[in-house]
Chains A and B, each alone.
Chain A
Amino acid sequence: MPERADPGTARLALSGVRKSFGAVHALADVRLELRAGEVHALVGENGAGKSTLVKILAGVHAPDAGELTMDGAPLTLTGPADARAAGIAVIYQEPTLFPDLSVAENIFMGRQPLRGLRRIDTTAMRERTTELFARLGVPLDPDRPARGLSIADQQLVEIAKALSFEARVLVMDEPTAALSGVEVERLFAVVRSLREAGAAILFISHRFDEVFALSQRITVMRDGRWVSTDPAEELDVAQVVRRMVGREVSQLYPKQQTEAGEVILQVRGLTRRGVFADVGFEVRRGEIVALAGLVGAGRSEVVRALFGVDPYDAGEVLVDGVRLPGSRPSAAMAAGMALVPEDRRQQGLVMELSIERNATLTRRWPLARFGLLGRGAERAAAQTWTQRLQVKAGRLDDPVSTLSGGNQQKVVLAKWLSTMPKVLIVDEPTRGIDVGTKAEVHRLMSQLAGEGVAVLMVSSELPEVLGMADRVLVMHEGRLVGEIARDAATEESVMLAATGQGGKP
């Protein structure tokens, strides 16, 4: 680590930074000041522009306007190599390692120690890797391939990489999202020692306990704008949340009170070896049940299995008391289930097809006459649902890829709602969509529940879980570890269960 700089001077500063992608303003007038020997937290809702900011610091995106300074001197980053040369290390939420290469090569890629004839000195590289791991206190083997490392270990490899080039600025984008409690502690110990060695650290997290435990100052962003920067000790969670959301949380979640009817969906002892085990729950007519938990807890895997996309090894799924055959999404659909998947670009939509085609994909057969799909029938059906969901689109025969994320999500919803499901499963229904559309999606879910649909919602956003759900099921490492009623559900109770530290099973 470099020599300790004066605390108080900005090591890396951004001011007036602006960035647009096409018509979307990702960042507008953002400022940030990272000081040596300090952990600076950056918080904001999904879509607030944090990731774009990280990519600017990493040299991946060039800002449209604004300036960066390093130790007071202007800094221009034309690519990731520049950022590294300036001493900026970025650890992404999903570590970016090369799975086929060894851990040591991953750390030193492009900067391998050399010997005669500019050959790579593999012995020196291995030794230095071992030293780095010793400093971090992790017994990883330098020669093993990166493939198969846990996320936590991959992050430690990334940190070792940052150490190896004596990073002066360390940017960590939600590093703890997929870690267990022990792993988070280990990571924090490493981060604290880096801070003490004089590095400037930017820490992005959705977990407020971590933000307050680790950082000295907190910057809040909202809708691509800078909102505030304050010392951590002058803030509390409620203040930060209010600044992030910019309005009272209750307005965001227009949850109607509904009477839960009879049980529609029953899941008993569902097990997929190594992914989840013995998952059992019920969802009633008119109820919204949230499936909460950390990333990697197995929530998406459970809903994929119960819809029949993935196989399961044991257990059963019943709709209206009738057992579904496993591994057959068509059977699940026939029984009245609908699944709005997590990744709409990969799994929810055919990006190149038109909006109307996408919206009617689930009803190809009912809409067809003599096995042929008529354009008119398709269009009429698409029109009904896109109007009902207020999809903002130019023309229905435009490719769905031209829509914004929020409107794409509405098309996915339209596609499934048009099948009149009894059970609607939504996986991260509002990930990556703007606040306005979010509220519309929430209103829609609430309305559907009011009409008697059983809704099962997987969500990583706690406010959404707390705002929408009648009951919260919490998963931790492949098991259902808690069931919390709406009245008892708080950020704390859900988070404790999700991290496996509490919650009554």
Chain B
Amino acid sequence: MTTTTRPESAPDAAEARARSGAAGIRLGHRLFVAREVGIGLALLLLIAVTTAVNPRFLSGQGRRDLMLGATILVVLAVGQAIVIITRNVDLSVGSVLGLAAFATGKLFLAMPDAPIVLAILVGIGIGVLCGALNGALIAVARVPALVVTLGTLYVFRGVDYSWAAGQQINAADMPAGFKSMGTADLLGVPLLALFAVAVLLVAGFYLRSYRSGRELYAIGSDPAAARLHGIPVGWRVFTALVVSGGLAGLAGVLYAARYGTLDAAAGSGIELNVVAAVVVGGVAIFGGSGSVYGAALGAVLLSTIGSALPVLKVNPFWQQAVVGALILAAIGLDRALAARVAHRLRGRKARGA
């Protein structure tokens, strides 16, 4: 709309603007809906095909396994989405998870009667400390998040290994109460999965409805503009990393409850699955757009693929290739949509030129 050679009468111009505005929302809305609905449909299709091949896939136990399988990835994906929305990334979540899981085991070895709440708080606390270290290095020392969290990925894992010193904690060492948290159901839904749902809802609500939540999007959308707006960019990014760390700590506790058997390698390599889930879920890798709901759906989709491929008798080798293809498809879709929007804007300008 910058250009008009023909003198346009004012109402015409106004109408054209209103039209382009409406097209803008429709487009924005469609992108949003398309992405989340698209993932949802892919998920349903996958479940339907797999169930057709093997009906037990969706039996009571099958459903539970699917939900439990997705739980940890969803919790991590929510934290990761919050970080990626600010145009940062947290690669250390796998190591934080491992550290928190091992700490949970150690806690119960030392105090078999410790309340579960304490274990959860300790796990989150460790995650928060790790996240604070990440956040401080990124926000204060102004080192790119990719480098900082790549470094702390190894540092935290190293701490974990030296602390464990080869020790393995067995399910037998865990108090029954804690183990039952890993297997208990509430209204037919595994208790652990409810943690993930709660985390997702709180994070989704916060990002949508709170000023500081919207500021995270603003920072990711244009960090320089965010500074000019007086948004405390460093503080917000720090907080995002702390939240991501805390959620990774929580995920560690959930991991301990689910598997019971722990060593220092727990959660190794999961960070890339998490980033993949977030990207597949429509959170732009350069920040500013996407939602935690999309990220959670992405996590569910990836973990369901993991469970479905063996049922479909697909060589496990292909599982990674499928995940990779999904990521490429998601990014390709983003590019194609962005190019189309750009093309439309260019076309609109050309009408005047």
Which candidate, A210-218, A268-276, A355-363, A486-494, is the interface stretch facing chain B? A268-276
Q: Does A100 contact B (CB under 8 A)?
A: yes
Tell me if A374 is interfacial: C-beta within 8 Å of chain B: no
Chain A residues lying within 8 Å of B225, measured Cβ to Cβ, are 96-98
Which candidate, A65-73, A142-150, A244-252, A416-424, is the interface stretch facing chain B? A142-150
Known contacts A141-B24, A144-B21, A274-B353: does B3 contact A477 (CB below 8 Å)? yes
- What is the CA–CA distance of A43 and B230 in the complex, to the nearest angstrom? 27
Q: Contact check: which of A84, A140, A145, A277 meets B353 at CB < 8 Å?
A: A277
Instruction: Tell me the A94-120 residues at the B interface (CB within 8 Å).
Output: 96-102, 105, 109-110, 112, 114, 118-120
Q: CA of A79 to CA of B227 in the docked complex: distance in angstroms?
A: 9
Q: Closest CB of chain B to A367's CB: distance in Å?
A: 35
Chain B: minimal CB distance from A227 (Å): 28
B2 touches A110 (CB 8 A): no
Q: Pick the contact of A143 from B4, B25, B215 — CB < 8 Å?
A: B25
Assess the A478–B3 pair: CB atoms within 8 A: yes
Q: What mask results when residues 308 to 336 of chain B are scored 1 for a CB within 8 Å of chain A, else 0?
A: 00000000000000000000000000000
Structural contact, B341 and A148, CB atoms closer than 8 A? yes
Contact A96 B25 (CB under 8 A): no
**Residue contact B288 to A152, C-beta cutoff 8 Å:** no
Query: Is B222's beta carbon under 8 Å from chain A?
Result: yes
Q: Say yes or no: B288 contacts A148, CB within 8 Å.
A: no
Interface size class on chain A is 35 or more
Docked CA distance A99–B4 (Å): 23
Stretch from B66-74, B104-112, B113-121, B342-350 contacting the other chain:
B342-350
On whether A101 and B221 interact (CB within 8 A), knowing A80-B229, A274-B349, A276-B353, the answer reads yes
**Closest 9 A/B residue pairs (Cβ):** A81-B230, A141-B21, A144-B24, A274-B350, A274-B346, A80-B230, A100-B288, A96-B225, A478-B353
B224 CB within 8 Å of chain A: yes
Interface check A151, CB cutoff 8 A? yes
Residues of A within 8 A of B222 (CB): 96-99
Residues of A within 8 A of B22 (CB): 141, 144
Chain B residues 209 to 264 lying within 8 A of chain A, measured CB to CB, are 209-211, 214-215, 217-218, 220-222, 224-231
| Distance in angstroms between the alpha carbons of A102 and B21 in the assembled complex | 11
Q: List 6 A-B contacts (CB under 8 A).
A: A112-B214, A144-B25, A148-B24, A148-B341, A180-B4, A479-B353
Given A96-B224, A274-B349, the answer on whether A109 and B215 have CB atoms closer than 8 Å is yes
Contacts of A151 in B (CB 8 A): 2
Q: Whose C-beta in chain A lies nearest to the C-beta of B224?
A: A96
Interchain CB contact under 8 A, B353 and A141 = no
Cα distance A143–B352 when bound, in Å? Answer: 25
The answer to whether B221 and A98 have CB atoms under 8 Å apart is yes
B18 near A139: Cβ-Cβ < 8 Å: yes
On chain A, the residues within 8 Å of B208 by CB distance are 120
Q: Is the CB of A101 within 8 A of B214?
A: yes
* Contact between A296 and B25, CB atoms less than 8 A apart: no
Min distance, Cβ B231 to any Cβ of chain A, angstroms: 6
Flag if B2 contacts A152 (CB, 8 Å): yes
Q: Are A120 and B210 in contact (CB under 8 A)?
A: yes
Complex alpha-carbon distance, A476 and B215, angstroms:
38
Chain A residues near B (Cβ < 8 Å): 58-60, 79-84, 90, 92, 96-102, 105, 109-110, 112, 114, 118-120, 138-141, 143-145, 147-153, 178-180, 182-183, 273-277, 296, 298, 476-479, 500
Min distance, Cβ A324 to any Cβ of chain B, angstroms: 24
A residues near B211, Cβ cutoff 8 Å:
110, 112, 114, 118, 120
Q: Inside 8 A of B229's CB, which chain A residues have their CB? A: 80, 96, 109-110
Question: Is A100 in contact with B221, judged by CB distance below 8 angstroms?
Answer: yes
In the complex, chain B residues whose CB is within 8 Å of the CB of A144: 21-22, 24-25, 28
Inter-subunit contact A98/B288 (CB<8 Å): yes
Q: How far is the CB of B278 from chain A (nearest CB, A)?
A: 16
Please give 13 more A-B residue pairs, beta carbons under 8 A apart, in addition to A98-B221, A99-B288, A105-B218. Answer: A80-B227, A96-B222, A100-B221, A101-B214, A109-B231, A119-B209, A120-B211, A140-B21, A141-B22, A144-B25, A273-B346, A298-B353, A478-B353
**Are A100 and B341 within 8 A (Cβ)?**
no
**Residues on B with beta carbons closer than 8 Å to the beta carbon of A82:** 230
Min CB–CB distance B270 → chain A (angstroms): 28
**B contact residues, total (Cβ < 8 Å):** 45
> B56 an interface residue at 8 Å Cβ cutoff?
no
User: Nearest CB to that of B288 among chain A residues?
Assistant: A100
- Complex contacts, B214 vs chain A, CB 8 Å: 101, 105, 109, 112, 120
Q: Are B231 and A110 in contact (CB under 8 A)?
A: yes
- B228-A60 in contact (CB<8A): yes
B1 touches A (CB below 8 Å): yes
CA distance A43 to B24 in the complex (A): 37
Contact B209 A120 (CB under 8 A): yes
* A150 in contact with B1 (CB, 8 Å): yes
Taking a contact as CB atoms under 8 Å apart, the answer to whether B350 and A110 are in contact is: no
Supposing A60-B228, A101-B214 touch, asked if A139 and B1 sit within 8 A by C-beta, the answer is: no
Known interface pairs A139-B21, A274-B349; A100-B217 also in contact (CB < 8 Å): yes
Closest to A183 in B: B2
CA distance A42 to B127 in the complex (A): 53
> Does B147 touch A at the CB level, under 8 Å?
no
Residues 87 to 134 of chain B near chain A (Cβ within 8 Å): none
Partner of B218, one of A79, A109, A178: A109
B61 → chain A closest CB, angstroms: 40
CB nearest to B2 among chain A residues: A150
Q: Is the CB of B289 within 8 A of A58?
A: no
Would you call B17 an interface residue if the criterion is a C-beta within 8 Å of the partner chain's C-beta atoms?
Answer: yes
When each residue 183-217 of chain B gets 1 if its CB lies under 8 Å from chain A and 0 otherwise, what string results? 00000000000000000000000001111001101
A505 CA / B209 CA spacing, docked (Å): 55
Of all chain B residues, the one with the shortest Cβ separation from A297 is B3
Determine the distance from Cα of A383 to Cα of B68 in the docked complex, in whole angstroms.
68
A83: chain B residues within 8 A (beta carbon)? 230
What residue of chain A has the Cβ atom nearest to residue B349's Cβ?
A: A274
CA distance A182 to B208 in the complex (A): 38
Contact indicator A110/B217 (Cβ below 8 Å): no
Task: Write the nearest CB–CB distance from B263 to chain A, whole angstroms.
Answer: 42
Q: Does B14 interact with chain A (Cβ within 8 Å)?
A: yes
Minimal beta-carbon separation of B343 from chain A (angstroms): 8
Q: Which residue of B lies closest to A276 (CB)?
A: B353
Instruction: Specify which of B4, B18, B21, B217 is in contact with A98 (CB 8 Å cutoff).
Output: B217
Which of chain B's residues has its CB closest to A476's CB?
B5
Asked, given contacts A99-B221, A110-B230, A144-B24, whether A182 binds B346 with beta carbons under 8 Å apart, the answer is no
Q: Is the CB of A98 within 8 A of B218?
A: yes
Q: Is the CB of B230 within 8 A of A148?
A: no
Bound CA–CA A476/B346 (angstroms): 16
Question: Among A98, A138, A143, A478, which residue has its beta carbon within 8 angstroms of that of B17?
Answer: A138
